[in-house]
Amino acid sequence: MDALPVLDHYLWSLNLNGNFQVSKEEKNLKKAIAVGAIWVTLLRLAYRFIGLISTVILARLLAPEDFGVAAIAMSIFALINAFSKFGFETVIVQHKNPSADHYNTAWTFNMLFGVLAAVLLALFSSFIGDFYKNPDIAYVAVVISLLFLLNGVKNTGIVDFQKNMTFDKEFKLHIIPKFISFFVTIGLAIYFKNFWALVVGNVVLKALEVANSFIMHSFRPTFSFKRGKELFGFSKWLMANNMLTFLNTKSPELILGKIISPHAAAIFNLSAEIGKMATSEIIANLNRAIYPGYAKVASDLLKLQKLYKDSIRAISLIVMPLGVGVALVSPYIVPIMLGDQWAEAIEPVTYLALGGAINALKSNSNYVYFSLGKPRIATAELLVRAVVFIGAIVYFVNESGVVGAAQSFLMTSIIMFFVSNAVLRVVLKIPLREQIGLYIKPLISTLIMAATVSLVIDTFTFDSVVLDLVLAVLSGATSYIMSVGVVWLITGKKDGLEKSALNILRAKLKRV
């Protein structure tokens, strides 16, 4: 597809060509959101593709225990980072007219807390090694502390890429370091043949990102505390969100590493990466593109409500089939991607894929709260999720190990989906029936797809796992696209992603 049809596709996916009259400024905003969605999707796809290839190769070069040591160390890094990650960038994006003092103050606090966090992690590295009864984790923690120093000095000027919706620059900012670090990490894995390849590879990636931030943006930060009170007034809630987000994403590795072993932590870590790669990662970056749009229309509740509903319709059409699809073909994906030594990951991937899809459906809500200046609502939801999730993990891990942790994630995602939608009904004043209607059509099509794929899997079996996967994917994609079309016809051919896709197809056929 060329650029124009793709752009139209995304305009429709966000329903930005709505039936109500909009000003030229609003049309420009919607077009900017659509273009941003394209760039962040390309970024995430490219980023995940490189990461996927890296995982496939490294899973065959390194043992699960190596991944476990690295996963535990990186989870500890994420824990401390949650305290030093203030979310000043989010504040600047929301600010109507930030000054240089905002950028300088953000950089100053990031740098100071980066130094403090690095020192703390290095000092407590021996204790961490003793806690996990693994001296390797202590050595790794010392090296990982360098990530805090690098994070702290990154150029805050690059926030402009998101604020001004110039996501093509953000694409270059992240993809170039990722591409270079891919080859570095593989080379290190061949040389070291242990966890040091993963650890040093992460440090190299971060160093390249910092260097690129100064290459791509002319802003040069200096020390300043002038806007400290203003930035912290909003970011205190974002700090709490970061801490709770950590508990909701990285706590399983820490708990499994302590209660069972680094091997169990590695199984969960890679299971989560595979299970959620097709949903959470892509949607997170679509949300990143949509957030500036939310911020610009936040003063008009009706416009914000419409933009949210249009976003959820598109997200549901993408997320539901991907999550269910990965869950159905997990017995094929795991051995193909990771090899037979990772067979334990098959069942966890199934639960994590379903949970990841459900979680992605509600992930957009936090950006609504941020745009309205109500981050405390997002914090409250994350707190409830953390309590439910960690409580479930501690109980189910003792009962079922890694599978129990994955089941805990799915159960928590289901509970929080209903909680989040109940809160949004109040905040955005969306009627219950209308809210349910956002999910019905893609849900029907996804159930038809699931039934078709299950029938194909039970009926046809080849000697090759790759052929089994190809047949399952083709049958799933075909049945989903056909069912989406039929449901769209039955429900009156309303404007949306379906009509956009049909218009693109017609345009292509005319050129043949």
Q: What torsion, rounded to 10 degrees, do the Cα atoms 219, 225, 229, 231 define? A: 20
pLDDT at position 8: 41
DSSP classification of residue 47: H
pTM of this structure: 0.75
pLDDT digits (tens, 9 = 90+) for 365-422: 888 888 888 888 888 998 999 999 999 998 899 888 999 999 999 999 999 999 999 9
Amino acid type, 64: P
pLDDT at position 297: 82
pLDDT of 115 over the 80 cut: yes
pLDDT digits (tens, 9 = 90+) for 7-65: 344 444 444 433 444 555 555 655 666 666 667 667 767 777 888 888 889 988 988 88
Q: Do residues 397 and 260 make contact, with C-beta atoms less than 8 angstroms apart?
A: yes
- With 0-12 / 13-18 / 19 or more C-beta atoms within 10 angstroms meaning exposed / middle / buried, residue 156 is buried
pLDDT digits (tens, 9 = 90+) for 447-494: 999 999 999 999 988 888 999 999 999 999 999 999 988 888 887 666
Q: Mean pLDDT throughout 306-314?
A: 85
Q: Do residues 329 and 48 make contact, with C-beta atoms less than 8 angstroms apart?
A: no
Q: Do residues 220 and 100 make contact, with C-beta atoms less than 8 angstroms apart?
A: no
Which residues are CB-contacts of 422 (< 8 A; sequence separation ≥ 6)?
Answer: none
Query: Which of 91-95, 308-312, 506-510 shows the lowest mean pLDDT across its residues?
Result: 506-510
Q: Mean pLDDT throughout 429-438?
A: 90
The span from the first CA to the last CA of the chain, in angstroms, equals 13
DSSP letters for 444-510: HHHHHHHHHHHHHHHH---S-HHHHHHHHHHHHHHHHHHHHHHHHHHTT--SSHHHHHHHHHHHHHH
pLDDT at position 163: 73
CA distance 230 to 370: 16
Mean pLDDT, rounded, of the chain = 83
φ/ψ (deg, to 5) at 441: -60, -50
* Nearest one of 219, 189, 222 to 204, comparing CA atoms: 189
DSSP letters for 162-218: HHTT-HHHHHHHHHHHHHHHHHHHHHHHHHH-STHHHHHHHHHHHHHHHHHHHHH--
Q: Mean pLDDT throughout 338-352?
A: 91
CA distance 139 to 160: 37
φ/ψ (deg, to 5) at 309: -65, -40
pLDDT of 285 over the 80 cut: no
Longest dimension (CA), the chain: 68
64, containing H or E segment: helix 64-84
Q: Do residues 102 and 231 make contact, with C-beta atoms less than 8 angstroms apart?
A: yes
pLDDT digits (tens, 9 = 90+) for 242-268: 778 888 888 899 999 988 989 999 999
Q: Which residue has the higher pLDDT, 126 or 81?
A: 126
Percent of all residues in the chain with a pLDDT value above 70, rounded to a whole number: 84
Amino acid type, 454: S
Q: How many residues does the chain have?
A: 512
pLDDT at position 325: 95
Is residue 21 helix, strand or coil?
Answer: coil
pLDDT at position 33: 62
- With 0-12 / 13-18 / 19 or more C-beta atoms within 10 angstroms meaning exposed / middle / buried, residue 419 is middle
CA distance 280 to 360: 5
pLDDT at position 20: 41
pLDDT digits (tens, 9 = 90+) for 222-235: 888 887 777 776 65
Amino acid type, 354: L
Nearest 5 degrees, angle CA 148-CA 79-CA 147?
15
pLDDT at position 9: 44
Tokens of 237: 């809630």
CA distance 122 to 126: 8
Percent of all residues in the chain with a pLDDT value above 90, rounded to a whole number: 38
Tokens of 210: 């910092």
Residue 26: HSE in the Cβ half-sphere, 13 Å Cα cutoff: 14
CA distance 118 to 93: 27
Q: Where are the alpha helices (DSSP H) in 298-428?
A: 301-328, 330-338, 346-362, 365-371, 375-428
